[in-house]
Amino acid sequence: MAEEKNIILEAKGISKHFGGVRALENVDLELFEGEVLGLVGDNGAGKSTLIKIISGVFQKDSGDIFFEGNKVEINSPIDAKRLGIETVYQDLALVDEFDVPSNIFLGREIIYKNPVARLFRVLNNRKMYKESKDLMDRIKVDLGSLSKEILYYSGGQRQAVSLSKIVYWGKKIAILDEPTAALGVRESKTALELVKTLKEHGISIIIISHNLQHVFSIVDRIMVLRRGQRVGVKVAHETTADEIVKLITGAEVVEKV
C-alpha cells in the first residue's frame, strides 16, 4: 500500500499567481516511493503550473518542497534534474534528425577514453548503440533498427525512446504530461505499459491525463485540482470515474485521504 511507503516528494502550501490570475492556491502534493499518482482536473485547474514548479520551469510564490525528506529549492530545470526529477512533455524533446542512440545520449555522449580521442571528442557510437539496444531489451521494447532518424518512428515508439531515457539515467521521479495524447488505441496501450515498466524499475511517477480510463488503468492514487486548489485525493481502487468527474466539475466535494 502507498501509505506504508516513504514520501519521496512533498509539496506544501504551493501558491502561484500570474498577475491577477490565481493559478495555484495553497496546494499540497504527496508522492510516495514507487507509486503512480494521477493528477487530473479541467483545463486551467493548475495541473501544468504545479508540475512546472516541481520541475523548475516556474518559481513558486509561496510554499515549500521536500525531496526525500529534505527541504529543497528548485529554481531551474537543472535543479530538478540533479535531484532525479525528469519531466516528459507532450513534445517529448527528441531531435527528429538524430537516431535513437543519439537521442538517448543527447548532451551526455560517450566518447573514447584515449587522450587524443578525448581531446577531439570522438564519439563512441558503437558503445552508445549497444547501450541503447540493451536498454530497449531491458524495458521490453522492440524498435527494430535503432539507426533510423527518430522522425521515422511511430508516436508510441518515440514515447518509448523518451521514457527509456528516464530508466537509463537513473531518475527517481518521472512527471509525464499527457503521455497518451495523440496516440491511437494500440500505441496508448503500449505507452501505459511503459509507465508500468518505469514503476517496476523503482521510479515514482506523476501522470497528467484527461483520459480517466487511462488514469484508472495505471495509477495508485488520484489527486484532483479545481480552479487552482486541491479538492480531493482518492485511492484509485476505492473510487469511481463518476466520483472523480464530480470532483473535477465541482458537483461534489470528497474528503481528502
Check whether residue 75 and residue 140 sit in a common domain: no
- The answer to whether position 257 is within a domain reads no
> Cell digits for 48?
501544468
Within a domain: 256: no
Same domain for 43 and 120, yes or no, is: no
pLDDT > 70: percent of the chain: 95
User: CATH no. for residue 78?
Assistant: 3.40.50.300
pTM of the predicted model over 0.85: yes
- Provide the 3-class DSSP secondary structure of residue 209: coil
Cell of 9: 516528494
Of 135, 153, 151, which is closest to residue 143 (Cα–Cα)?
A: 153
**Do 215 and 141 reside in the same domain of the chain?**
no
Decide the pairing of beta strands 85-88 and 173-177: parallel
Contact 178, 185 (CB under 8 A): no
Q: Which domain holds residue 119?
A: 98-148
Reported as a single tens digit per residue, the pLDDT across 15-40 is 999 998 999 999 999 999 999 999 99
pLDDT of residue 181: 84
Give yes or no: residues 90 and 140 share one domain: no
**pLDDT tens by residue, 44-65:** 999 999 999 999 999 999 999 9
Is 180 in the same domain as 243? yes
- How many distinct structural domains can be found in the chain? 2
pLDDT band, very low/low/confident/very high, at 117 (cuts 50, 70, 90): low
